[in-house]
C-alpha cells in the first residue's frame, strides 16, 4: 500500500489555500517528495509529516514553483542533525544548483551524505521492491515526470503446496526467489507454485502539455497526477504556457487506461469553488477523476 499527500496544488503563484507544488509519497518505510516548492517544509509540518524521514526528493523541472523549497529543506535537515543519506534527483543542472547554494548557506557540520543525481529518461532508482523512472515531459523548460512502479508481488500458492504436504517455511521463500526446489524426491518449479500480483503504479507529470510520453509512461497506472492548469475554454492560454487543460489530463488518463486521475497545478484565475468546472471538463474524457486540494490524502 502507498499513500500520497498533496502539499501544494497551485501553479506559479501560491494562494492562501494552495501552496506551490509538492507531493509526499509513502510506500512501506520509504518516503519521497515529488517536487519541493517554496513553503513545502511548513506544509509538511502542518500535515504532521517528518522531513527527516524523507529519503529521496524528485524535482521535475526548474521553474521556481517546483524547487524553491529544496534548499531550505536540505538546510533544515542539517540543523536537525539528520544522519541518514538524502538523495536528490532532477534534470541536468540540479547538481551545480545544490552544490553552489549549499556552499554558500551550509552551516555547522555535515551530519549526513547528500547525493545529487541528474536524471535521464529511464530507471532512476532500482530497489528490490520498486523502481522510480523518469520520462520526458513537454514544457517550456526541459523536465521529467516520474513513475513509481512497485515490482510484481510473488506469492507462494499455499493451498496448492499444503496439498502436497509442504507447509510454509524456507522452501516457500526459495520458490518465490525463482528457484526450483526438491520436496519428497519431486522437483517443484516456481511457475507451478508461485502466483504473481501486479504492483502499484503511481505517475506524476509535473508541468506539461498533453504528450505521448506521458500516455506511454502512465499506461495502466493506479494513480495519475497530471498538470491541469486551465479549463478547456482557456485552451489557447494553456498551449501558450505549455500547460494542460483539465480535459487534456482526462484524455491522457483515458488513453493510458489508468485507474484514477487527480487534477492539480491550478491557475490562480480559478477560485476553489470554480475548480468544479475543471472537474467537469476532465469528466468528458475520463470518469474516475478528482480535484486535488492541499493536504488531501489518497491511498493507492
Q: Could you tell me which stretch among 2-10, 58-66, 110-118, 255-263 binds Zn ion (CB under 5 A)?
A: 58-66
Say how many residues touch Zn ion, by CB under 5 A: 3
- Residue 65 lies near Zn ion (rule: CB under 5 A): yes
Q: Which residues contact 115 (CB under 8 A, 6 or more apart)?
A: 85, 86, 87, 88
Nearer to Zn ion, 27 or 135 (CB): 135
Q: 70-79 vs 94-105: helix axis angle to the nearest 10?
A: 50
Question: 220: closest CA among 260, 249, 247?
Answer: 260
Q: Mark whether 65 is an active-site residue.
A: yes
Which residues in 116-135 contact Zn ion (CB under 5 A)?
none
Cα angle: 210, vertex 214, 219; to 5 degrees: 125
Query: Which run of H or E residues covers position 73?
Result: helix 70-79
Nearer to Zn ion, 207 or 248 (CB): 207
Residue 245: DSSP 8-state: B
Nearer to Zn ion, 31 or 63 (CB): 63
- Residue 18 lies near Zn ion (rule: CB under 5 A): no
For the bound state, the minimum distance from the C-beta of residue 14 to Zn ion, rounded and expressed in Å, comes to 11
- Residue 63 lies near Zn ion (rule: CB under 5 A): yes
- Residue 243 lies near Zn ion (rule: CB under 5 A): no
Catalytic residue among 65, 248, 281, 294: 65
Which residues in 196-235 contact Zn ion (CB under 5 A)?
207
Rounded CA-CA distance 250/32 in Å is 26
- Residue 38 lies near Zn ion (rule: CB under 5 A): no
Residues in the chain: 300
- Partnered with residue 168 across adjacent β-strands are none
Write out the residues near Zn ion by the rule CB under 5 A. 63, 65, 207
Catalytic residues: 65
Amino acid at each position: 500500500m502507498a499513500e500520497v499527500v498533496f502539499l501544494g496544488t497551485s501553479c506559479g503563484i501560491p494562494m492562501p489555500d494552495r501552496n506551490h507544488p509538492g507531493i509526499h509519497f509513502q510506500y512501506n518505510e520509504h518516503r519521497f517528495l515529488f517536487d519541493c516548492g517554496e513553503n513545502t517544509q511548513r506544509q509538511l509540518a502542518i500535515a504532521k509529516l517528518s522531513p527527516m524521514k524523507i529519503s529521496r526528493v524528485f524535482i521535475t523541472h526548474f521553474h521556481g514553483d517546483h524547487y524553491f523549497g529544496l534548499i531550505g529543506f536540505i538546510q533544515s535537515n542539517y540543523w536537525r542533525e539528520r544522519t541518514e543519506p538524502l538523495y536528490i534527483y532532477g534534470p541536468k543542472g540540479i547538481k551545480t544548483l545544490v552544490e553552489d547554494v549549499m556552499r554558500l548557506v551550509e552551516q555547522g557540520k555535515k551530519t549526513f551524505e547528500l547525493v545529487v543525481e541528474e536524471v535521464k529518461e529511464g530507471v532512476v532508482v532500482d530497489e528490490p521492491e520498486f523502481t522510480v523512472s523518469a520520462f520526458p515531459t513537454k514544457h517550456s523548460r526541459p523536465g521529467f515526470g516520474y513513475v513509481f512502479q512497485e515490482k510484481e508481488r510473488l506469492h507462494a500458492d499455499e493451498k496448492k503446496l499444503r496439498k502436497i504436504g509442504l507447509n510454509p517455511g524456507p522452501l516457500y521463500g526459495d520458490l518465490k526467489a525463482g528457484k526450483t526446489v526438491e520436496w519428497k524426491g519431486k522437483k517443484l518449479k516456481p511457475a507451478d507454485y508461485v502466483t504473481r500480483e501486479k504492483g502499484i503504479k503511481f505517475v506524476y507529470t509535473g508541468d506539461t502539455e498533453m504528450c505521448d510520453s506521458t500516455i506511454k509512461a502512465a499506461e495502466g497506472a493506479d494513480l495519475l497526477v497530471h498538470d491541469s492548469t486551465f479549463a478547456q475554454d482557456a485552451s489557447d492560454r494553456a498551449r501558450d504556457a505549455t500547460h494542460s487543460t483539465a480535459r487534456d489530463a482526462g484524455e491522457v488518463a483515458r488513453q493510458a487506461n489508468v485507474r484514477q486521475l487527480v487534477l492539480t497545478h491550478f491557475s490562480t484565475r480559478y477560485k476553489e469553488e470554480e475548480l468544479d468546472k475543471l472537474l467537469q471538463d476532465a469528466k468528458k474524457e475520463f470518469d474516475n477523476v478528482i480535484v486535488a486540494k492541499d493536504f488531501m490524502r489518497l491511498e493507492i
